[in-house]
Structure 1
Amino acid sequence: MRIVQELLFIIAFGMAVFLFSTKVRQIRRNILLGRDKDLNDHPDLRWKNLLLLAFGQKKMFRNPLVAVLHFFVYAGFLIINLEILEIILDGILGTHRLFVPVLGSLYPVLISLFEVLAVLVLSGCAIFLVRRNILKLKRFLSKDLNGWPRSDANYILITEIVLMLLFLTMNAADQEMQSRGSEHYIATGHFWISGMFTSLFHGMSDSSVMAVERACWWLHILGILAFLNYLPYSKHLHIVLAFPNAYYASLEPAGEMENMPAVQHEVQLMLQPELAASAPASDTMPKFGAKDVFDLTWKNLLDAYSCTECGRCSAACPANITGKLLSPRKIMMDTRDRLEEVGRNINANKTFTDDGKTLLRDYISEEELRACTTCNACVQECPVSISPLDIILQLRRHLVMEESSAPAEWTGMFSNIENNMAPWKFSMDDRDKWTENM
């Protein structure tokens, strides 16, 4: 019987790892569809960002209560899952609590600390469910989250609660079997939380208590393996990608826009025509801005996969607050949805086959893009240093510079800049005439 259980566990574990690694490779491939961008400068500052923003959740602590709850859920869940190393080895080797002889008296202390964290995770998830579904905070009511995104958040929170309950119940049943001197259950010492609930099993037979412990053990590990494979399809992929995304975050001053060398070159030729003769000829015309995910940088695409859909960006966006169509959160969700669609296309055809769709217009409308004031509030508020603004600017550049599509007010300004070297409708000779009346 034990050999059958070991075999079943190895099959389940192998399938979970295979499916997860396959999806991870697909996500990596999708991200690398973007244009190259070198972000390896100043490693000291980048490691600092990773430690403060990803590990320390610096931006979350602007709201201390929510930050502490989130930290309990995030840190607690990660630390508790260190315990699955023992479960995996027990499952493969057919042992039970393999680390007890190794850790000795330290073992019950570690498990007890894990149980305290489990209670904190459970409490935090319950509070977040209440905030989302009963208190109904405004940023969680947005139509951006209609359908799957709203359900996704609830499913994850409920799953974490169930996994923590299984962990605590498994330990309580284990403690009861230890007290009965069952041969298979090694004496570990008292667990602080689960040890208080062994009385729940006092009236049950040994076989019933053992069945509860084994059922919780299997459901706990299978639930974690299922969670592992659900992660790449969920917004909770940020649990993993927040770290590289914080490391590769922009180090430029907040709000500084990236210049386009091709545009600078054209302006230089306009101002100094004599340079045109010595300029090397180019076989291809440069592309300005972005129309689809292929035109964005790999960092933009990493941003899309790292988005937590928390809505802090949209809650801070002045355009969104005043009722405009723009929602920075939706910009990131649309970019990820388009990228996933492109990925499925590649999976089916081995290479991308034109599907007649683009990120611009099929996912993100001109009205959304033009509502942006480029104030940088969305970037400032994002807990994991995502930049919806960078994607917006690149899409707007395509509209203006590739399609000559701009509002009339912008067109007038562009014409003035071209003719008068300034946004105003005054020639350079007349620009100082206002001083004559002083």
Structure 2
Amino acid sequence: MLSQILFILLLIAGAGLFAWNFRKVIRNIQIGRDVSRNDQPGKRWMVMLKVAFGQTKMAKRPIPFLLHLVVYLGFVIINIEVIEIVIDGIFGTHRVLSFMGGSYNFLIGSFEFLAAGVWLACVIFLIRRNVLKLKRFTGVEMKSWPKSDANYILFTEILLMSAFLIMNAADAKLQSIGFGHYVTAGSFPISSFIQNWLPSNPESLVMIERASWWFHIVGIFAFLNYLPYSKHFHILFAFPNTWYSKLQPKGEFSNMQSVTNEVKAMLDPSFVPEPAAAGRFGAKDVQDLTKVNLLNAYTCTECGRCTSVCPANITGKLLSPRKIMMDTRDRMEEVGRNIDKHGKDYDDGKSLIDNYITREEIWACTSCNACTEACPVNIDPLEIITELRRYAVMEESQSPASINAMFGNVENNGAPWKYAPSDRFNWSETQNN
């Protein structure tokens, strides 16, 4: 009875703490502007099924795709057993689903193969990060916490899978000697190899089985409550993020209705302007970005695929699309903490542009859209960059000299080049001669 009470208290505390942290994350996303992304639901469901569930965009790199697929499927499917653990913990039963007979044996056997696969994949991921030190896992933004975060998660998954297999091994050995309530249930193709390393004393086996059981479930609750502080929130947010991603071409710029109204009024004096929300041109801070932009920031897994294909980054420029997303998330969380301490109208004198993302970074972008094409979960760093640029140009009239020259040429010559319209076809005369 004591263990049941402890488990119920743990369950309530773990679920309650996660709900509290999750509510704060949703509140932070709500800081952004509303944007309509509910059109064509059929297409959106298909995108989510292909990109989030099917992980089709990861398949461009076969080795990490297969390893990630093993971890993804294994960790999700193995945690189906959490249902049984929760029932056993609340009611004091043991392997309550064993009445399923052969189906239960198949499930436990499958879970063991998946657990071994997850264990091996996580070891390989640790080697890739810390021994081989692949370039896309490095960068100015991948220091301290971001670098350690991935290692913490991988070690945690290895420990959880180890506890699962040791628990099964002790359970199977207790079943084989018919000790206590350990009735024959389950199939143990992997943990059977661990049994020889375990003691033969029944009391010691019970202690090992119970310790592994508690470690496994406490570890799952701890992992769940670690997610809000980790890049691994993509485990949950990848699905809504892909559902709300753009259906039109990712690099297509959005028009501001207020600007459209002005242009149409200039061309047609009888034009009746459409309603347009008052607000800033572009984005200075996270409040000026859309909720989807902020959801993108929380979904970023910092894999570095975007930065590894960015031509600006490849040529040594300061821009890293991964850093854009990480900076947006960091600023959003800082604004959220300010709201908790001082209220929603508090101004700390900081902004996303300049304090987190520099002008050099946003103007290094070539708008080629390579980052959005590379992202496994349809994150769009380009949209954030263009909104920051829009603010710099339209609100502050600040842009590089080359951009200002282009603006002047468009205004005076009707084209980005310095030639007058009357000289535009001079090149053809040269060709004819």
Measured against the shorter chain, the TM-score band is over 0.9
1:227 aligns with 2:226: no
Give 5+ residue unaligned stretches, structure 2.
none
Distance 1:169 1:405, change over 3 A: same
Report the counterpart of residue 113 of structure 2 in structure 1: 116
Q: 1:30 aligns with which of 19, 28, 31?
A: 28
What is residue 138 of structure 1 aligned with on the other side?
135
1:127 and 1:363 mapped to 2: Cα distance? Answer: 34
- Higher mean C-alpha deviation, range 63-72 or range 341-350: 341-350
The within-5 A match list for 1:193-272 is 193-201=190-198, 203-272=199-268
Q: Structure 1's 81 and 372: CA in aligned 2 closer, same or farther, altered over 3 A?
A: same
Cα deviation, residue 427, structure 1: 3.8
5 Å matches for 1:182-201? 182-201=179-198
Provide, for residues 35-89 of structure 1, a one-character-per-residue CA deviation record: whole Å limited to 9, x for no partner.
1111111111111111111111101111112111110001100100010110011
Secondary structure in 2 matching 1:404:
coil
Q: Using a 3 Å threshold, how does the CA distance of structure 1 residues 189 and 302 change in structure 2: closer, same or farther?
A: closer
- Residue number in structure 1 paired with 2:296: 303
* Cα distance between partner residues in 2 of 1:168 and 1:287: 56
Partners of 2:278 and 2:227 in 1: CA distance: 41
- 1:311-326 matches, cutoff 5 A: 311-326=304-319
Whether the 8 Å contact between 2:306 and 2:322 is mirrored in structure 1 is: yes
Match of 1:51 in 2: 49
Distance 1:198 1:435, change over 3 A: closer
Contact 1:345 1:352 in 2 (8 A): no
Of residues 362, 369, 375, the one that matches 1:369 is 362
Equivalent residue letter for 2:206? M
Q: CA RMSD in A?
A: 1.7
**Aligned pairs (5 A) from 1:389-408:** 389-408=382-401
1:237-292 CA distances to partner (integer Å, 9 max, x unpaired)?
Answer: 001101111111111124221122222222223334x347x65899x864210000
- The amino acid that maps onto 1:14 is I
Any idea what the Cα deviations from partners look like across 1:311-366, whole Å, max 9, x if unmatched?
Answer: 00000000000110000000000000001111111122342411111101100000
Moved more, 357-366 or 286-295: 286-295
Is 1:92 equivalent to 2:109 in the alignment? no
SS in 1 for 2:415: coil
Check the 8 A contact 1:262/1:286 in 2, yes or no.
no
Identity level (%):
54
Partner of 1:157: 154
CA gap of 1:267–1:121, structure 2 versus 1, over 3 A, is same
**TM value normalised by structure 2:** 0.96
Partners of 1:215 and 1:96 in 2: how far apart?
A: 14
C-alpha distance 286-193 of structure 1, shift in aligned 2 (>3 A): closer
In the TM superposition, what is the alpha-carbon distance from 1:29 to its structure 2 partner?
Answer: 1.4
Q: Separation in 2 of the partners of 1:279 and 1:72? A: 54
Letter in 2 for 1:44: G
1:332 — aligned with what? 325
The answer (yes or no) to whether the contact 2:319–2:364 under 8 Å persists in 1 is yes
Quote the offset at 1:434 in angstroms. 5.0
Q: CA deviation at 1:189?
A: 4.6
* Structure 1 residue aligned with 2:37: 39
- The residue that corresponds to 2:76 in the other structure is 78
Q: What secondary structure sits across from 2:379 in the alignment?
A: coil
The corresponding residue for 2:286 is 293
Q: Supply the distance in 1 between the matched residues of 2:187 and 2:195 (Cα, whole angstroms).
A: 11
Secondary structure at 2:95 match in 1: coil
Which residue in 1 is equivalent to 2:58? 60
1:27 positional shift: 1.0
Structure 1 range deviating more: 392-401 or 246-255: 246-255
Cα distance in structure 2, aligned partners of 1:173 and 1:140: 38
CA separation of 1:285 and 1:31: change in aligned 2, threshold 3 A: closer
Tell me the TM-score normalised to structure 1 length. 0.95
CA contact (8 A) 2:261 2:273 kept: no
Q: Is the Cα contact below 8 Å between 2:108 and 2:187 reproduced in 1?
A: no
Q: Which consecutive residues of structure 1, in runs of 5 or more, have no partner in the other structure? A: none
How far did residue 409 of structure 1 move? 1.3
Give the Å deviation of 1:199: 2.3
Distance across 1 between alignment mates of 2:429 and 2:58: 55
Structure 1 residue 207: deviation in Å? 1.0
Q: How many residues align?
A: 431
Q: Secondary structure at the match of 2:194?
A: helix
Q: Give the letter aligned to residue 237 of structure 1.
A: F
Distance 1:352 1:27, change over 3 A: farther
- Select between 251-260 and 156-165 the one with higher mean Cα deviation: 251-260
Cα distance in structure 1, aligned partners of 2:43 and 2:113:
35
Is the 1:96–1:186 contact (alpha carbons within 8 Å) kept by the matching residues of 2? no
CA displacement at 1:104 relative to structure 2:
1.6
